[in-house]
Amino acid sequence: MINRDTLYNLSQKHVIRGYLDKSLCLYNPKEVYEALTKNEVVVGWLKFIAYYYTPPPHKKVLLLYPCSTVKPYHMSRSYIALFKTLKSLGEDIRKLIHVVTISEPFGLIPEEYYNKRFVWYDCPGLFKWWCRKVGQPYEEKYVERSINILSKYISHFLKRTRNIYLLRIAFVRTFSSKLRVLKDHTHRRMIERASKMSDVVINLLPPLEVVKLIVMKRGAVAWDFYGVAHPIAQAHLKEFLLKKMKQLSITTRTIYKL
């Protein structure tokens, strides 16, 4: 087992700007569950987003995107790839898209808070492969309880914003490189559960055929390493957004009439 001081030092290497709070370093499922039920910072944020936060009025497309190991998110490879893709859509479309990070243990973090957060966290504790790698206890009951808690908070946000967003997309790790859905796909599981709880439809991307294409053309390592940041995945996201925007006739002029 790797001791906590060593784990904390490893976690610190991923924080480019800001401070890593030791109380927010959650290295096994039980620690995640306890943070979701007892940590005032975590619970306070979850309640704020679920019950009080209101998206900027001009945002009409919700784009859920996975958190990154690197903090702040927007300085990571994955977010640099995403923002490059969104910029290529043009300013009129980009300003309608609300990027919201989906995270353990904080649930949802809207993009307007990226530069405002200076106290960071590291939460790999729900992943079985990680717990085994570093010798942390893995109890599935706490994984399920944690995902259920996070899903409930997210579902409240989805219900409250039902009439705000015209389109909702979750662009996360949907399948493994072996084209399977795993319990470690926590973001996918949270989104699917929250969507069912709230009865709000979320487009879950990328689809199986895109993951299969990446693995076939670039190999399993390409998907395992890059995930949704892979150029083929990003190209699919751009194509999907353009198609949906055209179908919904979402334009700046349309928004001003709402």
State whether the Cα torsion 169-59-108-161 is positive or negative. negative
What domains, with CATH codes, occur in the chain? 4-257 (3.40.50.10630)
If you search the block for the tokens 């800001």, which residue do you land on?
A: 18
Encoded tokens for 125: 């504790």
78 sits in which H/E element = helix 77-87
Stretch 15-33: mean pLDDT: 96
Check pLDDT > 60 for residue 53: yes
Encoded tokens for 157: 């946000």
Distance CA 74, CA 253 (A): 29
Strand pairing report for 97-103 and 107-110: antiparallel
Could you give the percent of the chain with pLDDT greater than 70?
96
Check pLDDT > 60 for residue 252: no
Give the CA-trace dihedral at 237, 255, 109, 130, to 10 degrees.
-10
Residue 28 identity (one-letter amino acid): N
- pLDDT tens track for 145-193: 999 999 999 999 999 999 999 999 999 999 999 999 999 999 999 999 9
Residue 255: predicted pLDDT: 46
Residue 258: predicted pLDDT: 41
Residue 247: predicted pLDDT: 83
64 sits in which H/E element = strand 61-66
